[in-house]
């Protein structure tokens, strides 16, 4: 039992992203409203983004910007050796900027499609749409 609690506490970021992912997946599958499905999809994507960002974090580390200050004392602040452990990993953040853009674009496309569907079927509920399709 203590091992379980230790692992839950140690890997809490993974747990959180998995839970978020499952919420998103549930919304996509179980909800009938198209917009809710789209929101679920976005939650799913956000979970992945959260995962990536969380793996870059390090204990006690600071933001990964090397200070080239100006004013007095500037020449002392630039360190000669850069310790990687002092800065959090910037690469996942950079990658996730791209992923966020992709998620937003997907959201935009999905909403545009939902508008088209609404224009055609006058409703955003999936069961009503399927009923209309079956009639034709």
Partner 1 sequence: MSQHYPALLVIVPLLSALLISIVGWLNKRFCFPIAVAALSVSLYSSVGLLLRVMDEKVILYFLGGWDPPWGIAYSVDHLSALVLVVVSVVALLNLIATQKSVEQEFSEKIGAFYTLYLLLITGLLGIVVTGDAFNLYVLLEITALTGYGLIAMGEDRAPLASLNYVYMGTIGACFYLLGIGYLYISTGSLNMTNISSILPGLYDSKVVLAAFIICIVGVFLKMAFFPLHAWLPNAYTYAPSAVSSLVAPLMTKVMIYVMIRLMLTVFTPAFTFSNLALSNSVVWLAVIAISMGAVLALGARDMKKMLCYVVIAEVGYMVGGAWLGNRAGMTGAILHIANDALMTLCVFLAVGNIVYKVRGYAFEDLKGMFRKMPYTMTGLVAGALSMIGVPPTCGFFSKWYLISGGIQAGQYGFVAALVFSSLINAVLFFRIIEIGYYEPFGADHGHGSSPVRMAEAPLTMVVPLLIVAGGLVMMGVYTGDIITHIIEPIIPPAIGN
Tell me which residues touch partner 1 (CB under 8 A). Answer: 25, 28, 34, 37, 41, 44-45, 48, 51-52, 55, 92, 95, 98-99, 102, 105-106, 109-110, 113-114, 116-117, 120-121, 129, 133
Spatial distance between the Cα atoms of 121 and 127, rounded to a whole number of angstroms: 11
- The residues pairing with 62 across neighbouring beta strands, listed in sequence order, are 87
Spatial distance between the Cα atoms of 5 and 74, rounded to a whole number of angstroms: 47
- The residue among 52 and 87 lying less far from partner 1, judged by its C-beta, is 52
Return the ∠ at Cα 49 (arms to 109 and 98), rounded to 5°. Answer: 60
- The residue among 19 and 102 lying less far from partner 1, judged by its C-beta, is 102
Q: What is the dihedral of CA 37, 42, 47, 52, to 10 degrees?
A: 150
Q: How far is the CB of 35 from partner 1 (least distance, A)?
A: 11
Q: How far is the CB of 82 from partner 1 (least distance, A)?
A: 15
Q: How far is the CB of 4 from partner 1 (least distance, A)?
A: 17
């Amino acid at each position: 039992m203590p091992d379980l609690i230790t692992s839950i506490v140690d890997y809490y970021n993974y747990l959180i992203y998995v839970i978020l992912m499952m919420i998103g997946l549930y919304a996509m599958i179980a909800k009938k409203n198209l917009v809710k499905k789209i929101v679920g999809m976005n939650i799913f994507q956000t979970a992945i983004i959260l995962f990536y960002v969380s793996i870059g974090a390090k204990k006690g580390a600071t933001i990964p910007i090397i200070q080239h200050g100006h004013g007095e004392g500037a020449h002392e602040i630039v360190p000669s050796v850069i310790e990687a452990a002092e800065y959090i990993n910037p690469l996942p953040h950079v990658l996730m900027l791209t992923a966020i853009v992709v998620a937003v674009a997907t959201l935009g496309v999905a909403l545009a499609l939902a508008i088209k569907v609404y224009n055609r079927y006058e409703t955003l509920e999936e069961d009503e749409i399927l009923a209309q399709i079956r009639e034709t």
